[in-house]
A and B are shown apart, each in its own frame.
Chain A
Amino acid sequence: MSQPFRTEKGGRIDRSQQLTFTFDGEEMQGHQGDTLASALLANGVHLVGRSFKYHRPRGILTAGSEEPNALVGVYRNGDQTPNLRATQVELYQGLEAISQNRFPSLGFDVGAVNDRLSMFFPAGFYYKTFMWPKSFWDKVYEPVIRAAAGLGKPPKNPDHDHYGNLYAHCDVLVAGSGPAGLAAALAAAETGAKVLLCDEQAEFGGSLLTEANATIDGKAPADWVADAVAKLQAMDNVTLLSRTTAFGYFAHNYIALVERVTEHLPTPDPKLPRERLWQVRAKEVVIAAGSIERPMVFPENDRPGILLAEAGRTYLNRYGVKVGHKVVVATACDTAWQAAFDLADHGVEVAAIVEMRETPPESLMSIAKARGIRVEAGCIVTGTLGRKRIKSALLGRLMTSGQVASGGQVDCDALLMSGGWTPTVSLYSQSRGKVVWDADKGAYVPGKSVQKERSVGAAKGLYGLQATLEDGYAAGEEAAKAATGKSATITYATATGGEAGDGGTLGALPHDRNASRVKAFVDYQNDVTAKDVKLAVREGMQSIEHIKRYTTTGMATDQGRLSNMNALQIASGALERPMTDVGLTTFRLPYTPTTFGVFAGVARGDFFDPVRKTPSHDWVVDNGGVFEDVGQWKRTWYFPKNGEDMHAAVARECKTVRDSVGLFDASTLGKIEVVGPDSAEFLERMYTNPWKKLAPGRCRYGLLLNDAGFITDDGVIGRLAEDRFHVTTTTGGAPSVFATMEDYLQTEWPDLDVWITSTTEQYAVAAVQGPKAREVIAPFIEGVDLSNDAFPHMSVREATFCGVPCRLFRISFTGELGFEINVPRRHGKMMWETLAKEIEKHSGTTYGTETMHVLRAEKGYIIVGQDTDGTVTPQDAGMTWAIGKKKFDFVGKRGLERPDLVADNRKQFVGLLTKDPKVKLEEGAQITTAETPATGTPAEGHVTSSYYSPALDRSIALAVVKNGHALDGKTLYVPMPEGSIPVEVTGTVFYDKEGARINV
């Protein structure tokens, strides 16, 4: 028979819609509205997984997101997602699920041998062994341990789905839609406040969807929920998000939610994201996260067929599924009795209610009696039988002595248990609130609010339908008032039934079994037993954090929501200290495991990081140029022609620039406009060089230090007018130089009358370099006499290029005659294409960053960040000429006077020539005085730049070397794995040492 454990009628499933799904390849049926867990139970399947360490058979324990056992892998379109909770996976037609952590099959798992050998694997056993022989840990032991550990298998393919991201603001965010949450949302919405209500489940209503024995405003709870949701839906000021978990509570009331958009659909619309991140800034938050039931810690409390009582009731009332045909209910509190009554009312045989309390409430006793249910008061379960499914429960009678007497055996095919209730304080704890122990409730409850939030209902240990509703309404009103100042008259709904229950127990139950042989689980998923917790204490662990880390209790995927309180109680008993002295572990985000894709969102592929392109970009693509990433910029690296490799292309580009002319896109260089009467004074203070005497129309190389005295940036600065400078920076340094200038200007020298503006993106810059540079630009430039006399090296003019206003610099980073033309960016493409065409007439070339590097290295020009590394001073770099000697102050001046910066033995910037001109050094290679230095010999320095120089037809290199300036002509060595390379120390200028070519 299909679905033998389905009830005749009732529940919220749609019985008219039959769905087919598979579990471990076996085909089964369920209904629309089922979770995978409820559908499996309807088919009588309890065994769904194997535990982490002992590989014990495990069944479905809960009906919620705290499920520790029923973790499955779900396949869709070849993508597998591991570790999904069957209790949260909504059933759809064709769903394919597999069990995990078993080999070869769920029924027969060789890993189960661990259970037999468990006496050798107590908590922390791995710290005490696997140490011999020394080399065996990562070669032998660790691989075996790693293969045995882990739950599901990781996904095999790149994820094809996409993920969304939304930002939202609201007055009141309500997390959870049980009675308290719904009431809070209704009340807040009524005041006109902007309300966002989210719930992790597919349907709103929380516990009300399970509640069958109460009314609200005379309606069945589920009907009242439907009306309330309809009312909220109709309001413009309310956003309702189901399948949405509030998983993170950050500073300043910033809440992260994850919405599962398509995972429940058989054929998702590919346009929709699989999941979506909501980042919500809420003025007020109402935490209505409810509470979860605690397992009872008795021997063999982990067999398939053992569930929490309320879960059994949920499967019955909400999903129309009976967890068994013959059920034992073990409890220490009132609420579980209702599960027994509901089951009995559906014709399930309740074999016994095993009540820990000696005298349960008379009201419950009489209902049980009326239904003919056997009640064993003052009794507990001391063990269970049945390997893959519970067959019977062993009972024990609590004696006044504290001992347990055998109470016989009861056959059953399912056992429901309840150790009482634990408020869900995860979000409160994430908000950095400190929970407080409430002795009356036997629970930790939220203490003082640290952020603008309030917990309501069961989340703060308040139970009973009427009380919860009232609390919710009041909190909703208060939150709205606090957020908006507005209030309204709210009519509270009234409820009957759903009374709060008494009772509950914490920690391990006593038993009459052989303590050394039985296992009573505290943390199901991580296989932590009561014995493990006691062992940790015996070994000196006193803080709950140590106990947690040593035993791994509370570190499973439910973050200890089921296990923490029991573990605390056991630890407290073993330590003989009150529970409140043992401490409490911190709940971390996320509330439930959250997909990485949700965090990454749209930041993938091209959207991973913005791409910054220069105006020549498309032209370069069309002409086969190769790009390199420099920060976010795409810069052209080189332009291979006719199948050239990089070396050949660069050699040709270099030669062409020196022989005729080259065109280079310099748009990425940082540009800052410095304007105002005190501009020169400002630059005087920022840069090492003097600026006051620089005439308008002239340029100067500027060197920038930090106040520690080290070089941080450089660039050419042109004076356009008395009160206006055009500053250039390195590409990578542009943002930080600008920020540093703003910093000094605004906070140290607010007296200066200067404005600075970043203009990097405002200009497109073309560098035309080479002997024919003047001829190339002349046809397009108007307004400047380009002759060497009228417009010498290191000059700047405002002119036009093809009629477009431009700033024309005569500067050179190649050692050749050179110009840099700045036009407004929108004209950059026109400028580039015009010049690219023009250089062809002169047999010129476009060139990229690599050629630029070679040409400047031939001239010994430094590149900040390559030849310097944040530890280099101007003196080290041989640039004392750049320091204004008479200046009162500049950034870095005082730093330069510090003891180590003026000490001997500093590494100084030099040139290196290999004795064999064909040998090119590797950049970063170390330099020593000894030809074959012993390991550990301190290096004299390192190679900062190294190239083949087409102009010299040999290799050249730049380096920093200790006292290098005094070593001219000396031989040093660059030790390499293949042997030492002898080098001669030289000056840094290799080509055109007189600098004649620049002044033509």
Chain B
Amino acid sequence: MKRYSFLELAKNAFSAHQNWGRQWRSPEPKTEYDVVIVGAGGHGLATAYYLAKEHGVRNVAVIEKGWLGGGNTGRNTTIVRSNYLWEESAALYNHAIGLWQGLSQELNYNVMYSARGVMMLAHTVHDVQVAQRHIHANRLAGVQNEWLTPEKAKEYCPPLNISKNIRYPVMGAALQRVGGTARHDAVAWGYARGADDLGVDIIQNCAVTGIRRGQDGAVEGVETSKGFIKAKKIGVVAAGHTSTVMDMAGVRMPLESFPLQALVSEPVKPAFPCVVMSNTIHAYISQSDKGELVIGAGTDQFISYSQTGGIHISNHTIDAICELFPHFRRMRMLRNWGGIVDVTPDRSPILSKTPVAGLYVNCGWGTGGFKATPGSGHVFAHTIAKDEPNPINAPFTIDRFRTGRLIDEAAAAAVAH
């Protein structure tokens, strides 16, 4: 692999950029691999990369029905943070933060991880209680998170409206300074390039149509639109389509796939320094390096694979944005799109072995999977390579729904009294 650097860029400038090589190959599938990963999103590619890099498992194929990075990886609002409540979650997401910090150098691909801070607003007494609980829990867990008064919040994010006269005034905010954003496409491409360089075959435009299991119940390989591919281990990382793929192996999942919308404004000069989230009034906003305000909207109430959603969902998000940042009201929406997010009953992911030998699943990231990409791939690679979970993902089993040992991030923010 030709390393990227400023010097290399300059050198290539003088040959009119005619000599850049491919970032990844487009191979035809071999008949057999040690591991087949289903789904070439960020998580799947990262899994393949770490399998090859850290576990020496290089005979790996990543099978993708469309184009790599084309699902939720390329559709999300790119927020990175780790200030989750439960120790299990905080450990998982903080593991990812650690990897984010060196990811551009690790991959030799600028993923533009920008630790500009993620601020989560509190609008009610209950919000304040929940935020404080997070901050205390995070401090003990070694996760950076701090409380800001409304005035301090405005100092950190000058466009924020902290007037007491709005419907839900800002009562303060939890700030994670190491949180921020990253360039979503670059994450997929960086992992693809890295994995490809280590020998991983990324096979795009190849749909998985079946999972073949042997007499003993263990997996034998995948049926695809390009023929049968033999593999003793299969990792399913198919996000919104996980239920469909797992169904091929006869495994029913505790998942529902909802449409999630996001949108961007027309690009403007720098106007917004950080990431602001409000779970109470449903507003998620940052500004991309290109200048677009990047805004996350909510999910529709029904499951759907349409990659579109209702206008009332985006209306509801934009009215919240306009209340918190009233001078953005004259800005204009440039593009609105939808993704398909797979949601578990406790809003925490599943990174787990399955009842089927040789079959592993990484799913259920809901609306927040992007931030976990490096960490998720890292521990999932471990799980596949060793056939046992890394201690970090050990709690994130499918079996927790049977036993009741949930990791309930949603309930922790439950509506009170």
Determine direct contact between A and B, CB below 8 Å. yes
A binding-site residues for B, Cβ under 8 Å: 52, 79-83, 119-120, 122, 125-132, 134, 137-138, 142-143, 145-147, 149-159, 161, 248, 250-251, 254, 256, 279, 432, 515-516, 531, 535, 538-543, 545-546, 549-550, 552, 557, 559, 583, 586, 588-590, 593-597, 599-601, 603-606, 608-609, 611, 628-631, 637, 708-710, 730-733, 849, 863-866, 868-871, 895, 898-901, 922-926, 928, 933, 935-939, 942, 975, 977
A935 and B333 in contact, given A129-B5, A605-B167, A628-B124 (Cβ under 8 angstroms): no
Can you sample 17 A-B contacts with CB below 8 Å? A79-B330, A81-B330, A83-B267, A137-B104, A138-B115, A149-B291, A150-B269, A154-B268, A158-B161, A531-B16, A539-B21, A550-B185, A604-B322, A608-B166, A730-B416, A926-B136, A936-B140
In the complex, which residues of chain A have a beta carbon less than 8 angstroms from the beta carbon of B334? 557, 559, 590, 593
For the A-B complex with A608-B281, A870-B412, A935-B140 known, give 12 more contacts whose Cβ atoms are closer than 8 Å. Answer: A82-B266, A83-B267, A83-B332, A127-B109, A130-B110, A150-B269, A597-B322, A732-B416, A895-B404, A939-B140, A942-B133, A942-B137
Q: Are B132 and A922 within 8 A (Cβ)?
A: yes
In the complex, which residues of chain A have a beta carbon less than 8 angstroms from the beta carbon of B67? 542-543, 545-546, 583
B247 at interface by CB-CB < 8 Å: no
A153 and B269 in contact, given A128-B4, A924-B137 (Cβ under 8 angstroms): yes
Q: Give which listed residue, A130, A143, A254, A601, contacts B319 with CB less than 8 A.
A: A601
Q: Which residue of A lies closest to B269 (CB)?
A: A150
In the complex, which residues of chain A have a beta carbon less than 8 angstroms from the beta carbon of B8? 128
B binding-site residues for A, Cβ under 8 Å: 4-6, 8-10, 13-14, 16-18, 20-26, 66-70, 74, 87, 91, 101-102, 104-105, 108-110, 112-116, 123-126, 129-130, 132-137, 139-142, 161, 166-168, 180, 183, 185-186, 189-190, 204, 265-271, 281, 287, 289-291, 306, 308, 310-311, 314-316, 318-323, 326-337, 345, 400, 402-406, 408, 410-412, 414-417
Would you give the shortest CB distance from A598 to chain B, in whole angstroms? 9
Would you give the shortest CB distance from B155 to chain A, in whole angstroms? 18
In the complex, which residues of chain B have a beta carbon less than 8 angstroms from the beta carbon of A865? 126, 414-417
In the complex, which residues of chain B have a beta carbon less than 8 angstroms from the beta carbon of A977? 139
A629 and B110 in contact, given A127-B186, A149-B267, A605-B167 (Cβ under 8 angstroms): no
A588 and B87 in contact, given A138-B115, A159-B326 (Cβ under 8 angstroms): no
A637 to B417, CA, bound (A): 13
In the complex, which residues of chain A have a beta carbon less than 8 angstroms from the beta carbon of B189? 127, 550
A120 and B13 in contact, given A137-B112, A539-B20, A870-B408 (Cβ under 8 angstroms): yes
In the complex, which residues of chain B have a beta carbon less than 8 angstroms from the beta carbon of A975? 140
Q: Give which listed residue, B14, B269, B321, B332, contacts A147 with CB less than 8 A.
A: B269
Q: Which residue of B lies closest to A516 (CB)?
A: B16
Q: Give which listed residue, B69, B87, B136, B417, contacts A732 with CB less than 8 A.
A: B417
Q: Give which listed residue, A515, A531, A550, A559, contacts B335 with CB less than 8 A.
A: A559
A130 to B331, CA, bound (A): 30
A928 to B112, CA, bound (A): 38
A604 to B166, CA, bound (A): 8
Q: Are A899 and B404 within 8 A (Cβ)?
A: yes
A870 to B416, CA, bound (A): 11
A143 to B142, CA, bound (A): 29
Q: Are A150 and B270 within 8 A (Cβ)?
A: yes
Q: Give which listed residue, A80, A250, A589, A871, contacts B406 with CB less than 8 A.
A: A871
Would you give the shortest CB distance from B286 to chain A, in whole angstroms? 12
Would you give the shortest CB distance from A583 to chain B, in whole angstroms? 8
The secondary structure that dominates the A interface is loop
Q: Which residue of A lies closest to B400 (CB)?
A: A900
Closest 8 CB pairs of A and B: A870-B411, A150-B291, A924-B133, A865-B416, A516-B16, A540-B22, A158-B326, A159-B329
Q: Are A599 and B414 within 8 A (Cβ)?
A: no
Q: Are A538 and B20 within 8 A (Cβ)?
A: yes
Q: Are A134 and B102 within 8 A (Cβ)?
A: yes
Would you give the shortest CB distance from A529 to chain B, in whole angstroms? 11
Most A-side CB within 10 Å, residue of B110, B166, B337: B110
In the complex, which residues of chain B have a beta carbon less than 8 angstroms from the beta carbon of A611? 167
A924 and B132 in contact, given A129-B110, A732-B415, A865-B416 (Cβ under 8 angstroms): yes
Q: Are A605 and B166 within 8 A (Cβ)?
A: yes
Q: Which residue of A lies closest to B133 (CB)?
A: A924
Q: Are A596 and B17 within 8 A (Cβ)?
A: no
A583 to B66, CA, bound (A): 11
Q: Are A629 and B168 within 8 A (Cβ)?
A: yes
In the complex, which residues of chain B have a beta carbon less than 8 angstroms from the beta carbon of A938? 87
Q: Are B9 and A597 within 8 A (Cβ)?
A: no
Would you give the shortest CB distance from A189 to chain B, in whole angstroms? 27
Q: Are A922 and B136 within 8 A (Cβ)?
A: yes
Q: Are A899 and B403 within 8 A (Cβ)?
A: yes
Q: Give which listed residue, B22, B329, B405, contacts A158 with CB less than 8 A.
A: B329
In the complex, which residues of chain B have a beta carbon less than 8 angstroms from the beta carbon of A131? 4-5, 104-105, 108, 110
A132 to B106, CA, bound (A): 12
In the complex, which residues of chain A have a beta carbon less than 8 angstroms from the beta carbon of B415? 631, 732-733, 865
Q: Are B291 and A151 within 8 A (Cβ)?
A: yes
Q: Are B289 and A145 within 8 A (Cβ)?
A: yes
In the complex, which residues of chain B have a beta carbon less than 8 angstroms from the beta carbon of A146? 270, 287, 289, 291
Q: Are A540 and B25 within 8 A (Cβ)?
A: yes
In the complex, which residues of chain B have a beta carbon less than 8 angstroms from the beta carbon of A603? 315-316, 319
Q: Are A540 and B26 within 8 A (Cβ)?
A: yes
A127 to B161, CA, bound (A): 35
A827 to B322, CA, bound (A): 39
Would you give the shortest CB distance from B290 to chain A, in whole angstroms? 5
Q: Are A866 and B126 within 8 A (Cβ)?
A: yes
A80 to B400, CA, bound (A): 54
Q: Which residue of B lies closest to A159 (CB)?
A: B329
Q: Which residue of A lies closest to B13 (CB)?
A: A119
Q: Are A900 and B22 within 8 A (Cβ)?
A: no
Most A-side CB within 10 Å, residue of B139, B269, B310, B400: B269
A593 to B265, CA, bound (A): 8
Would you give the shortest CB distance from A630 to chain B, in whole angstroms? 7
Would you give the shortest CB distance from A985 to chain B, in whole angstroms? 18
A127 to B111, CA, bound (A): 7
In the complex, which residues of chain B have a beta carbon less than 8 angstroms from the beta carbon of A870? 408, 410-412, 414
Q: Which residue of A lies closest to B101 (CB)?
A: A134
In the complex, which residues of chain A have a beta carbon less than 8 angstroms from the beta carbon of B180? 138
Q: Are B330 and A251 within 8 A (Cβ)?
A: no
Q: Which residue of A lies closest to B401 (CB)?
A: A708
A531 to B13, CA, bound (A): 12
In the complex, which residues of chain A have a beta carbon less than 8 angstroms from the beta carbon of B270? 143, 146-147, 150
Would you give the shortest CB distance from A708 to chain B, in whole angstroms? 7
Would you give the shortest CB distance from B61 to chain A, in whole angstroms? 17
Q: Give which listed residue, B124, B311, B330, contacts A629 with CB less than 8 A.
A: B124
A485 to B207, CA, bound (A): 44
In the complex, which residues of chain A have a beta carbon less than 8 angstroms from the beta carbon of B319? 599-601, 603-604, 608
Q: Give which listed residue, A127, A557, A628, contacts B110 with CB less than 8 A.
A: A127
A157 to B306, CA, bound (A): 38
Would you give the shortest CB distance from A255 to chain B, in whole angstroms? 10
A586 to B70, CA, bound (A): 12
In the complex, which residues of chain A have a beta carbon less than 8 angstroms from the beta carbon of B104? 131, 134, 137
Q: Are B168 and A898 within 8 A (Cβ)?
A: no
Q: Which residue of A lies closest to B114 (CB)?
A: A138
Q: Which residue of A lies closest to B336 (CB)?
A: A589
A82 to B271, CA, bound (A): 13
In the complex, which residues of chain B have a beta carbon less than 8 angstroms from the beta carbon of A708? 345, 404, 406
Q: Give which listed residue, B129, B134, B268, B345, contacts A152 with CB less than 8 A.
A: B268
Q: Are A155 and B327 within 8 A (Cβ)?
A: yes
In the complex, which residues of chain A have a beta carbon less than 8 angstroms from the beta carbon of B108? 131
Q: Are A154 and B308 within 8 A (Cβ)?
A: no
A593 to B332, CA, bound (A): 5
Q: Are A596 and B336 within 8 A (Cβ)?
A: no
Q: Which residue of B lies closest to A255 (CB)?
A: B311
Q: Which residue of A lies closest to B107 (CB)?
A: A131
Q: Are A595 and B109 within 8 A (Cβ)?
A: no
A251 and B336 in contact, given A596-B329, A870-B408 (Cβ under 8 angstroms): no
Q: Are A539 and B110 within 8 A (Cβ)?
A: no
